[in-house]
Amino acid sequence: MTGSRAPDDPSVRTFSATVDRVTDDAVVLDETYFYAASGGQPADRGFIDGTAVADVWDVDGEVHHGLASPEGGLESEFEPGQEVECIVDDTFRTYCMRAHTASHVLYGAGRRLFDDLGYGGFDIDDRKVRVDFATPSDVDDDALVELERLTNRAVWDSYPVSWGEVDVETARDHEAVAFNTKTEEGVMAGADTVRIVTVGGDTRGNLGELDTEEAKEALALDGSAWDAAACGGTHVSNTEEIGPVEVLSRSNPGEGLTRIEFAVGPVGIRRDATVHRAALSAAREVDVGIEELPEAVARLAEENDALSEELESLKGEVLEARLSSLETVDRDGARWQVGAVEGFGPNEVGDRLQSQIASEDDGPDVAAVVGDGDAPFVVVATGGEPAAGEVVEEITDQFGGGGGGGPTFAQGGGLGADPEEVLAWLRGK
C-alpha cells in the first residue's frame, strides 16, 4: 500500500510516478506526494499527465487519485505500469500548509490564555480556517483580540516547525501534546507510533530519520515548545512563512465548544485593510484618534439613549395633544371622536387611545383614529358598545384591508383609501 509522502516532504510539487493499478473511480500510484483529505485539511489539487485531479482520498493507507473528465465526471484512462508526470497545485498546497500550521499556532496561543483547554478539531476551506476550543472559559472580545495578538507574535518570532514519529504511549504521557482522534483520524489507528508536529521545537523539519528518543527530545515534548499536537497534515518549516493571521469571528457550535474562525494570506490581508479603513473612517467622523474610538462610541451611545428617551417623551406629548383635540361627531345617538394622525404607528396610537378612553369619566363612546402614511390604518377604542371589533370590520369591509380585536379595542391595516376618505365615511354614517 502506498501512503502519501506529502506530510513528510511538503515542499515537493512535481514528481514522476508509475501507475500501480486503476480502480473504477481512481488511479493508484507507486508513490505520491498528493495529500489525501484528512482531519480537516482538504485534498490537494493538481494534474497527473495533464488530467486534473478532482479528489484525493485514503483507503486503508492507500492513496486514491480521482481524475476529472472534461464532462465533469471521473475518468481513469491510465494503464498499470504507465509512467506519469504529476504536478501538485503549488498555490493551494502552500495555502493549506500556512493555514494548517496557523491553526496549531492559534491553539498554542489558546493554551496560554485558557485553563483546561481541549482540542475540538479544525477545518480549512478556501477563505477561512476554523479551530474548535473545548474550554469552560468565556472567549470574550478581549480574549479574541489577545488570541490574534499572541498568534501573530509567534509568527513574527519565527518559530521552527518540526514533525516526527514517537511511540503512542510516550505521546499520551505528555500533557503538552494535543490529541483529537475524531478529527485526526488515521494518525494513531492501529499504529505503535504517532506523528507529532511541534511549533518551536527542532529546526530540522522532518525528523523521520531520528529514533524515538531523539525525536522526543527534538520535538520538545517537555512542554517548552509553543505547541505540540498529533497531526498528519502538511506544514511550513517556520512560522514566519504563515504571514499575518486575522481572526474573523467566534461562535458556539455546541458540545461545550467555542469556534474561532480566522484567515491567512490575501483574505486575511483584505479583512485587515477593511477593518482598518472602517476604524479610520469612524474615528474621523467623531473627530477622535482610533485609540479613543471605543470611549467616543460609548459616549455617543449614551447621548443617543438620552435623546431617544427625550424624543419618545415629546412624541407622547404630541400624540396625546392630537388625540385630545379629535373632532367630535354624533352617530346614532352616540358621541364619537374621529381624526387622523401622521408619524405614529398603530401600536403607539392604540396604547394612548385606550388609556385616554379609560381615564375620562365623560369621554366619548367611540374613538376612531386613522393613521396617515404609506400604509393607512385605523385604531378604534370604545366602552364596549358598539364593539370596537365590529367597527373595524365595517371599515375594512368598506375600504379593504384586514384586522380585528375585542369589544373595547381593535385595529385594522392595509386600507385601500386615503385617511380623508375614511374620515369622511366615519363622519357621514
Q: Do 384 and 242 fall into the same domain?
A: no
Domain that holds residue 234: 94-273
Q: Do 114 and 228 fall into the same domain?
A: yes
Q: Do 321 and 336 fall into the same domain?
A: no
Q: Do 266 and 211 fall into the same domain?
A: yes
As a whole number, mean pLDDT of residues 20-42 equals: 93
Q: Do 165 and 194 fall into the same domain?
A: yes
Is residue 278 one of the residues assigned to a domain?
no
Q: Do 349 and 297 fall into the same domain?
A: no
Q: CATH number for the domain including 395?
A: 3.10.310.40
Q: Do 406 and 341 fall into the same domain?
A: yes
Assess whether pLDDT exceeds 50 at residue 1.
Answer: no
Is residue 354 one of the residues assigned to a domain?
yes
Q: How many domains, in total, are found in the chain?
A: 4
Please, what is the average pLDDT of the chain?
84
Task: Return the minimum-mean-pLDDT range out of 46-60, 94-108, 344-358.
Answer: 344-358
pLDDT for the residue 71: 58
Q: Do 191 and 331 fall into the same domain?
A: no
Is residue 9 one of the residues assigned to a domain?
no
Per-residue model confidence as pLDDT tens digits over 231-244: 899 999 999 999 99
pLDDT for the residue 360: 62
Check the CA dihedral 234-235-236-241 and report its sign: positive
Q: What percent of the chain has pLDDT over 70?
A: 87
Is residue 284 one of the residues assigned to a domain?
no
Q: CATH number for the domain including 72?
A: 2.40.30.130
Q: Which of 74, 67, 62 is nearest to 48 (CA)?
A: 67
Is residue 321 one of the residues assigned to a domain?
yes
Residue 58 — very low, low, confident or very high, per pLDDT cuts 50/70/90? very high
As a whole number, mean pLDDT of residues 43-64 equals: 93
Per-residue model confidence as pLDDT tens digits over 70-117: 655 555 678 999 999 999 999 999 999 999 999 999 999 999 999 888
Per-residue model confidence as pLDDT tens digits over 241-260: 999 999 999 999 887 899 99
Is residue 150 one of the residues assigned to a domain?
yes
Per-residue model confidence as pLDDT tens digits over 108-132: 999 999 988 888 889 999 999 999 9
Q: Do 317 and 417 fall into the same domain?
A: no
Per-residue model confidence as pLDDT tens digits over 290-323: 888 889 989 999 999 999 888 888 877 787 777 7
Boundary residue ending a domain (25, 55, 88): 88
Is residue 415 one of the residues assigned to a domain?
yes
Q: Do 219 and 239 fall into the same domain?
A: yes
Q: Do 106 and 213 fall into the same domain?
A: yes
Q: CATH number for the domain including 211?
A: 3.30.980.10
Contacts of 4 (CB under 8 A, 6+ apart): 32, 33, 34, 35, 36, 56, 58, 63
Q: Do 419 and 387 fall into the same domain?
A: yes
pLDDT for the residue 211: 56
Boundary residue ending a domain (88, 121, 146): 88
Assess whether pLDDT exceeds 90 at residue 358.
Answer: no
pLDDT for the residue 403: 81
pTM of the predicted model as reported, rounded to 2 decimal places = 0.71
Boundary residue ending a domain (273, 297, 315): 273
Is residue 280 one of the residues assigned to a domain?
no
